[in-house]
Amino acid sequence: MNTLPIKEKMNRGEFVVGPFIKSRDPAMVEIVGLAGFDFAILDMEHSALSIESVEDLIRMAEIRGIDSIVRVPEISESAISGPLDAGASGVLVPHVDTRKQAEEVVFLSKFSPLGERGMDVFARAADYSHLPKEKYLKQANRKTLLIVQIEGKKGVENLDDILLVKGLDTIFVGPYDLSQSLGVPGEIDHPKVTEKIKQVVGKVRKAGLSLGIYVDDVETAKRWIDLGVQFIALLVDTVIFFRACRSLIAPLKKEE
C-alpha cells in the first residue's frame, strides 16, 4: 500500500506510476492499489465515467492507499470543482495550449488567494463539514495536485509562457494528440514527436515542475524515467485486462 502522496514523492525527486481507468467498477481501482501502483487516473474525458461513479472510485483509491487523479473533460468550473469536491487528489486538465488557459485552470482549481474555486465547505473533500473551514481551504490548496496536459504544437510553442503560471505542479504530455498535431497521427515514436517531447522535458525540469507522460509499455516508461520524467501514466485498465485475456487464451486456440 502506498501511503505517501504522489505530490510529495515527486517533490522528493521520485517517479510515480499509474494507469488510466475507464471502467466504472471500483474493483479495478482496488486491484491497481493492491498491485503496487502509486495512483489511478480516472478518465472523464474519454470514457462513460460520471461524477457519481468517479466518487466511488475515489473512495476505493483512498481505501487502498493510492492517489486519485481525475482527467476532466474540459476547462470549466463544474468539470474541475466536481471531482475536487468529491475528494480527488488532483485533476489532469487536457488541451491546455496557452498561458491564459493555464491561468484559468489555476483560478478554477485553487481557493483564494491563489484562485476562486467554487467553495463548498460541506463537500466530501471537507469531510462533509467535519473539517474546520480554515483548515480545509488551506489543506486543499496545499495538497491538490494540479496537472495540465500539453498535447499540441500550440501548447509546445507557448510552453515558456505556460510555465510562468503560479500554482501548476505538473506538465503532462499527451503523445498521441501531439503526434496528430505534428502530422504523424498515432506514430508516438516518430522522431518529430520524441524531439518535441524532449524539448518539453528540458524546459519543464528547468522551471522546477515535474513532468508526466503517457506510455504504452514498460520499456518506454524506463526510457522517459531515465530522462527525468516523474509522472508515468502506464496503459489503460481495459487494455491491461484485454492483454491478460489474450495471453491466456491464445496458447489454447492456436491457429491450425
Instruction: Tell me the pLDDT tens digit for each residue of 220-244.
Output: 999 999 999 999 999 999 999 999 9
pLDDT of residue 256: 47
3-state secondary structure of 231: strand
| pTM recorded for the entire structure | 0.93
What is the rounded CA–CA span in Å between residue 86 and residue 59?
9
Tell me the pLDDT tens digit for each residue of 134-152: 999 999 999 999 999 998 8
Do the beta carbons of residue 120 and residue 158 sit within 8 Å? Answer: no
> Which of the four pLDDT bands, split at 50, 70 and 90, describes residue 2?
low
Domains (ranges, CATH) in the chain? 6-250 (3.20.20.60)
Tell me the pLDDT tens digit for each residue of 36-77: 999 999 999 999 999 999 999 999 999 999 999 999 999 999
Q: Taking all residues of the chain, what is their mean pLDDT, rounded to a whole number?
A: 94
Tell me: pLDDT of 3 over 90. Answer: no
What is the percent of the chain where pLDDT is above 90? 87
Q: Which residues are catalytic?
A: 46
Do the beta carbons of residue 88 and residue 71 sit within 8 Å? Answer: no
Do the beta carbons of residue 110 and residue 82 sit within 8 Å? Answer: no
